[in-house]
């Protein structure tokens, strides 16, 4: 066997399985051994599906032996944030309360699409309770430390999904992003994380946090993996009103098209303030690699972030009002208190926030008439320490949990597609840079990412 499974991307793994260089069962067993050995320290998984994973891998091997094509992800291990339904186990959504729910009757549609493409589900991954957080320090299931520095957070709320890819426990995972819950952990863990256009990928069988803001998306270490998984996941979802209108538009064929003709700029104003110096150095590293000197302003981004806060808190708390009244002690205290505050928001505030949202979306669309891609930081700092409550950013002391999404919230607020790419400056922990486009322009985003990957600007290596 000539393939290094810990470093290989999903396409290389699937190719090795299809050609008989290695069996799907052997791949599965080797990843399971890594998970058994390292998960007690990394705490990425809340459920390891060893028995069913081996059975699924054996099915792949039998299909190949019979001359059948098992799919583009043949035998590739993957995991999902534990708010995706997995048939046969309760969907925890990071909570204690959901343990009392019956097991899911079927897989979430995104899970079933990856399985249909030949991928093998290895388990469910840790997260902030009900996706309300940016740190994955969970009072019920513990913290998921950062594989690059175990004293630091992995980010959240999809921390287990990002950390398992960064540690080489899985080559592909799924997470969700409401205000930055894919992009923040991607930045801190040094992996690729894609938040597609709102409504582009199906959410059926996913526990929602804020229905008008929630997205699903993949984590991986290569652009080929991000593009392929995105293509597989596309397609309308009759059970998800947000995912019914747009036909699939494959991105994989366009990865090698280059960046010629794309108008690229760096976001200034709000996105050039309140960050540590290395954050802006990472953006400049990417801009220089792309030959970008132009600057643009995304107007009223600070108000967009404030409005996103109001809508998120209001929509999220309303989903949990019954349990907030009847089982308040069973919530993670950090989540409960924020939900309680959200339940008290006057309705005129959220109505006004939605009005502003419509206006802000139009401003963003107008801006993308003059530019195709915008670059911005993903997080205002490198990963904070586990348990850290406050941080000093740009000379201002602020709370950690609500402010790690400083640069991500204004973008998910209007559903723009964003890829966070990892950049490693000498002697520094990973940082992410956001590649942002107009709605449904994922292909352009991924083309830029691929250019950076080929130029070796992106650093998505497995953590030691």
Placement of tokens 């897989």 in the chain: 107
Question: Catalytic: 252?
Answer: no
Q: Look at the alpha carbons of 183, 185, 188, 194 in this order and tell me if their dihedral is positive or negative.
A: negative
- Stretch (H or E) spanning 194: strand 192-195
DSSP 376-422: EES-SSSPPBTT--EEEETTEEEEHHHHTTTTTHHHHTTT--EEEEE
- Check: CB of residue 5 under 8 Å from CB of residue 32: no
| CB neighbour class for 329 (10 Å; exposed up to 12, middle 13-18, buried from 19) | exposed
Q: Tell me how many degrees the CA angle 392-396-398 measures, rounded to the nearest 5.
A: 65
Closest alpha carbon to 213 in 144, 143, 351, 310: 310
3-state class (DSSP) for residue 431 = strand
Catalytic residue among 158, 164, 181, 252, which?
Answer: 181
CB contact set of 146 (below 8 Å; sequence gap of 6+): 152, 153, 154, 155, 163, 166, 188, 189, 383, 429
- Check: CB of residue 394 under 8 Å from CB of residue 273: yes
What span, in angstroms and rounded, lies between the C-alpha atoms of 433 and 208? 26
What span, in angstroms and rounded, lies between the C-alpha atoms of 73 and 110? 14
Catalytic residue among 18, 95, 154, 157, which?
Answer: 157
User: How many other C-beta atoms can be found within 10 angstroms of the C-beta atom of residue 255?
Assistant: 20
**Structure tokens that stand for 458 in this block:** 């992106």
Closest alpha carbon to 131 in 36, 18, 215, 250: 215
- Helix ranges (DSSP H) in 130-222: 159-166, 183-189
Closest alpha carbon to 178 in 216, 228, 123: 216
Question: Catalytic: 52?
Answer: no
**Structure tokens that stand for 441 in this block:** 């322009």
Question: Catalytic: 157?
Answer: yes
Q: Report CA-CA distances (Å) from 206 to 92, 109, 117, 405.
A: 11, 9, 19, 22
Catalytic residues: 81, 157, 181
């Amino acid at each position: 066997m000539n393939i290094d499974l810990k470093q290989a991307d999903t396409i290389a793994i699937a190719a090795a399985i299809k050609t008989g260089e290695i069996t799907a069962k052997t791949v599965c067993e080797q990843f399971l051994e890594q998970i058994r050995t390292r998960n007690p320290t990394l705490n990425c998984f809340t459920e390891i599906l060893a028995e069913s994973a081996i059975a699924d891998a054996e099915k792949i091997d039998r299909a190949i032996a019979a001359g059948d094509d098992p799919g583009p992800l043949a035998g590739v291990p993957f995991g999902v944030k534990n708010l995706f339904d997995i048939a046969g186990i309760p969907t925890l959504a990071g909570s204690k309360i959901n343990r009392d729910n019956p097991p899911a009757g079927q897989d979430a549609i995104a899970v079933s699409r990856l399985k249909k493409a030949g991928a093998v589900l290895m388990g469910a991954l840790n997260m902030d309770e009900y996706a309300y957080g940016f740190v994955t320090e969970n009072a019920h299931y513990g913290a998921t430390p950062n594989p690059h520095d175990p004293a630091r957070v992995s980010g959240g709320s999809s921390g287990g999904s990002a950390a398992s890819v960064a540690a080489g426990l899985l080559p592909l995972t799924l997470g969700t992003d409401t205000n930055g819950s894919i992009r923040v952990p991607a930045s801190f863990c040094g992996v690729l994380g894609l938040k597609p256009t709102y409504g582009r990928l199906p959410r059926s069988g996913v526990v929602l946090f804020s229905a008008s803001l929630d997205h699903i998306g993949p984590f991986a270490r290569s652009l080929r993996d991000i593009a392929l998984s995105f293509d597989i996941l596309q397609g309308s979802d009759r059970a998800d009103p947000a995912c019914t209108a747009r036909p699939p538009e494959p991105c994989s064929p366009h990865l090698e098209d280059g960046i010629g003709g794309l108008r690229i700029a760096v976001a200034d104003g709000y996105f050039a303030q309140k960050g540590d110096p290395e954050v802006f150095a990472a953006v400049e590293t990417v801009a220089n690699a792309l030959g970008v000197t132009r600057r643009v302003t995304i107007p009223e981004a600070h108000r967009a972030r404030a409005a996103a806060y109001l809508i998120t808190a209001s929509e999220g708390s309303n989903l949990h009002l019954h349990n907030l009244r009847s089982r308040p002690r069973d919530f993670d205290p950090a989540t409960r208190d924020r939900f309680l505050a959200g339940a008290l928001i006057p309705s005129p505030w959220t109505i006004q926030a939605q009005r502003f949202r419509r206006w802000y979306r139009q401003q963003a669309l107008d801006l993308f008439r003059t530019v195709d891609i915008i670059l911005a930081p993903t997080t205002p700092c490198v990963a904070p320490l586990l348990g850290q409550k406050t941080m000093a950013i740009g000379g201002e002391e602020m709370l950690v949990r609500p402010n790690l999404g400083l640069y991500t919230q204004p973008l998910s607020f209007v559903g723009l597609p964003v890829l966070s790419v990892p950049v490693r400056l000498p002697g520094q922990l990973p940082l992410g840079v956001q590649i942002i486009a107009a709605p449904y322009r994922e292909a352009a985003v991924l083309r830029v990412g691929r250019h950076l990957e080929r130029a070796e600007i992106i650093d998505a290596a497995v953590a030691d």
